[in-house]
Amino acid sequence: MNKSIPPGYSFFPSMVRTYKQTKNPIGTMQESMSRFNGTYSVNLGMMRMIATQDAGLIEYVLKSNHRNYHKSPIQTEYLGKFLGKGLLTANGDYWLKQRRLIQPGFHTEKIHALYATIKRTVDEFLLTFPTGDVDVYPLLHKLAFDIVINTLFTVNVPAAQRQQLATFISDVQEYVMREVRNPHKRWWFRLSGELRENLDKAAGARDVIRSLIRQRKQDQGRHNDLLDMLLEARYEESGQPMTEEQVIDEILIILIAGHETTANALSWSLYLLAHHPDELRMAREASRSLELHQVVGNEALNNVIRESMRLYPPAWISDRVALENDAYADFSIPKGTVIVIFYYGLHRDAHEWSDALSFKPSRFSKEHNKDIKKIYYPFGAGPRLCIGNNFAMAEMVIFLQSFIQMFHVEPGNIEPNIKPLVTLRPDKVMLKVKTV
Ligand code: HEM
């Protein structure tokens, strides 16, 4: 049988749909997914896309035939011009070399050393956590940022420098999203000086990190933090460390990949627990009086976070580009096609999940857990699986345990709106917070 590209939209309908999608990305994709049974094509003239929430195709692209699929220019070029060439923004041989170098630093036994720093940061944060009607999102955003900074640098990073890094990370994401959504305005961003302004902020952020690295090199002590790990890593073939600029690239990547994702997951977790008092009570009871290592392994807490990330995956979408002509099931995938992976859709697909839209952490418990590997991708999959996944889970359960032992949450007066940008952000998460 001759294979053809998946059904979908020809050129003019694609243009109309793209406009609709900028206004309502998730709704527009859900509508097309149900119309075309989970996989559809979009023809934008110069670019052809295949969007999918099909478990089989996603598995094929990320795992079984990953060699034929690279990250698209959105991550490598658009983000790369501000962050440099690091794990998230590189492809091919350079990416593999960096992954092999850095991966061991994120193994579970290595990140054990960071739990105490995470716990100390959480405890300090909770000391001043407000009660009453609270928008928890900006607070959790700041906490997640402080955790990444503290586990990277251990030493106290001055407030002004922290702020400079935080502003850069937030501004650059916002700018990149505008470039991606308005490709026709890229000339204007250049002409108006906006591009230059953001490149200057990137240079400023690099200067801050460079000075922290130089301070560390003069200081002879060991800190057992992520910076020590990056400075001590050696390439297998040459026995050489990374250059200073390479270390800066990787630090910027860890900063951007490792804080908003976590802040989103935690905010959605508290939102869901506020709406499900029985689940909140059970998680609180199951996680009383635990040692730190028991907290990290606690099943009830982990399941709350897993289920929250099923319903609200912080990385709600990703993409890859086909390097050569390919085919999957009945479909052909021509070289150059951008595959848009709609994790949000797969995680809520009623064909794959029973009672798909309900919040049920116990679906992840050992007794109920069916083989979810092929339908659950909060951290991606295959060789480009999130390198910080164990770190992120540990950090999130450490926070959740401390928080629910100290505070009770109920729904606030306003429901959050989803802002699907680079990550799946809530605009605000208003909750009623009381001490327990
Ligand atoms: C809830 C928290 C997090 C979520 C949901 C998340 C999700 C993801 C996903 C889905 C990817 C793969 C993207 C793709 O395939 O296109 C990824 C990659 C990555 N993540 Fe995370 N992440 C989280 C936290 C972290 C943390 C805490 C760090 C670092 C400390 C981190 C560092 C990275 C890096 C460096 C990559 C690129 C890996 C590579 O391509 O080799 N992430 N993350």
Q: List 237's β-bridge partners, or say none.
A: none
Contact present, 261 and 392 (Cβ < 8 Å): yes
Predicted confidence (pLDDT) per residue in 65-90, tens digit: 999 999 988 788 888 999 999 999 99
pLDDT at 352 over 70: yes
- One-letter amino acid of 269: S
Angle between helices 92-102 and 244-275 (to 10 degrees): 70
Centroid of ligand 1 to alpha carbon of 184 (angstroms): 29
Predicted confidence (pLDDT) per residue in 310-340, tens digit: 999 999 999 999 999 999 999 999 999 999 9
**ipTM given for this complex:** 0.99
151-159: average pLDDT: 88
- One-letter amino acid of 120: R
- Residue 381's nearest CA partner among 329, 334, 315 is 315
pLDDT at residue 184, rounded to an integer: 79
Cα gap 433→435, rounded to integer Å: 7
224-229: average pLDDT: 93
Lowest mean pLDDT among 77-86, 290-299, 346-355: 77-86
Q: Is 84 in the pocket of ligand 1 (CB under 6 A)?
A: no
Centroid of ligand 1 to alpha carbon of 115 (angstroms): 19
The pLDDT > 90 percentage for the chain reads: 78
Q: What stretch of H or E contains 194?
A: helix 194-218
Q: How many CB atoms lie within 10 A of CB 408?
A: 19
Contact present, 266 and 400 (Cβ < 8 Å): yes
Q: Is 263 in the pocket of ligand 1 (CB under 6 A)?
A: no
Cα gap 308→311, rounded to integer Å: 5
pLDDT at 370 over 80: no
Centroid of ligand 1 to alpha carbon of 152 (angstroms): 16
The pLDDT > 70 percentage for the chain reads: 99
Contact present, 42 and 8 (Cβ < 8 Å): yes
Counting from 1 in the atom list of ligand 1, the atom nearest the Cα of 395 is 27
Residue written as tokens 């798909």? 356
Centroid of ligand 1 to alpha carbon of 425 (angstroms): 16
pLDDT at residue 63, rounded to an integer: 96
Determine if residue 386 is labeled as part of a ligand binding site: yes
Mutate to test the pocket of ligand 1, among 85, 386, 387, 395 (most ligand atoms within 8 A of CB): 386
Joined tokens for residue 415: 């429901």
Centroid of ligand 1 to alpha carbon of 106 (angstroms): 12
pLDDT at residue 375, rounded to an integer: 95
Joined tokens for residue 140: 């959790």
Joined tokens for residue 405: 């032992």
Contact present, 418 and 26 (Cβ < 8 Å): yes
Counting from 1 in the atom list of ligand 1, the atom nearest the Cα of 305 is 1
SS (H, E, C) 17-31: HHHHHHHCHHHHHHH
Q: Is 105 in the pocket of ligand 1 (CB under 6 A)?
A: no
Q: Is 86 in the pocket of ligand 1 (CB under 6 A)?
A: no
pLDDT band at 1 (very low <50, low <70, confident <90, very high): low
Angle between helices 277-286 and 299-311 (to 10 degrees): 150
Cα gap 202→172, rounded to integer Å: 8
- One-letter amino acid of 274: A
**Whose CA is closest to atom 37 on ligand 1?**
88
Q: What stretch of H or E contains 117?
A: helix 108-127
Which residues, at least 6 apart from 364, have a Cβ–Cβ distance to it below 8 Å? 302, 303, 306, 307, 372
Q: List 69's β-bridge partners, or say none.
A: 322
Domain ranges across the chain: 53-435
Q: Is 384 in the pocket of ligand 1 (CB under 6 A)?
A: yes
Share the mean pLDDT of the chain.
Answer: 93
Counting from 1 in the atom list of ligand 1, the atom nearest the Cα of 313 is 5
Q: How many CB atoms lie within 10 A of CB 233?
A: 19
Centroid of ligand 1 to alpha carbon of 377 (angstroms): 11
Lowest mean pLDDT among 92-106, 272-286, 380-394, 414-428: 414-428
CATH of domain 53-435: 1.10.630.10
Contact present, 265 and 305 (Cβ < 8 Å): yes
Q: Is 265 in the pocket of ligand 1 (CB under 6 A)?
A: yes
**Whose CA is closest to atom 18 on ligand 1?**
386
Q: What stretch of H or E contains 142?
A: helix 136-153
Q: How many CB atoms lie within 10 A of CB 331?
A: 18
392-408: average pLDDT: 98
Instruction: Report the first-to-last Cα separation within the chain, whole angstroms.
Output: 64
Q: List Cα–Cα distances, 372 to 62, 122, 164, 323, 340, in angstroms.
A: 15, 31, 40, 29, 21
